[in-house]
Amino acid sequence: MRLVQKIRLTSYQLKWIAIITMVIDHTGAVLFPECMLMREIGRVSFPIFCFLLVEGFFHTHDLYQYMIRLGTFAVISEIPYDLAFRETILEFTHQNVFFTLLLGVLMMYVLQMAGEWPTKVVEVLLVMWAAVCLKTDYSFKGILLILVFYLFRQNKRLKLAGGILWNFLWKGNLQKYGAIAMFPIALYNGERGKGIKYFFYIFYPMHLFLLFLMKRLIG
């Protein structure tokens, strides 16, 4: 117990956990679809990215640049995403995770700007509807997880409980493994750590394109 209490993770370290589990997940999905262990490990990634998105929202010095950056790389990443998972240049039945994250930031922004709670509820529902219409990764449920981390940011127990519960809202047994992400999130110390501000933005489309090339070479 004392060892666990001494272990604390910065956002930099959490980001690496999310990146590594994401790569394992995508490698499994693209190259080894029969290996469910890789997909199970990969469920850890998205909840951590959502958590870091909320923290980034509160710590960014320029919210508009934050949204522009997410939007720009959402567009840039779509072709590599479709090549890796659909083997076509553009396919509009499922969009990459940057679109989900962008809508999440937009939701938090309107929550801060909106007045009464009825207005806030309507605006959250509109963002969720947009996620469904755009067919973003994790759809409206992804927005819901971001909302959980946003609303309970100052209440660690409710934040972790909500995060665990979210992972069991899905049909099937795969997403439940995402509840494991609450363990590293619980160890967050509120510090940024080393900066890799643009690394993930660049890495995301690059690793998808590399997976596409590897699949073509192997298959």
156 touches 61 (CB < 8 A): no
| End-to-end CA gap in the chain | 48
pTM of the model: 0.94
Euclidean distance between CA atoms 151 and 180, whole angstroms: 21
pLDDT tens, residue by residue, 139-194:
999 999 999 999 999 999 999 999 999 999 887 779 999 999 999 999 999 888 77
What Å distances lie between residue 7 and 52, 56, 195, 200, CA to CA? 18, 22, 20, 24
DSSP 135: T
49 touches 97 (CB < 8 A): yes
pLDDT tens, residue by residue, 27-63:
999 999 999 999 999 999 999 999 999 999 999 989 9
pLDDT tens, residue by residue, 71-115:
999 999 999 999 999 999 988 889 999 999 999 999 999 999 877
How many of the other CB atoms lie within 10 Å of CB of 157? 9
84 touches 208 (CB < 8 A): yes
- 41 in helix, strand or coil? helix
Residues 6+ apart with CB under 8 A from 78: 90, 95, 96
Mean pLDDT on 120-127: 93
Euclidean distance between CA atoms 169 and 34, whole angstroms: 24
DSSP run (H or E) holding 206: helix 199-218
pLDDT at 1 over 50: no
Mean pLDDT on 202-214: 97
Euclidean distance between CA atoms 56 and 65, whole angstroms: 12
Backbone angles phi, psi at 140, to 5 degrees: -70, -25
CA geometry: angle 47, 206, 133, nearest 5 deg:
55
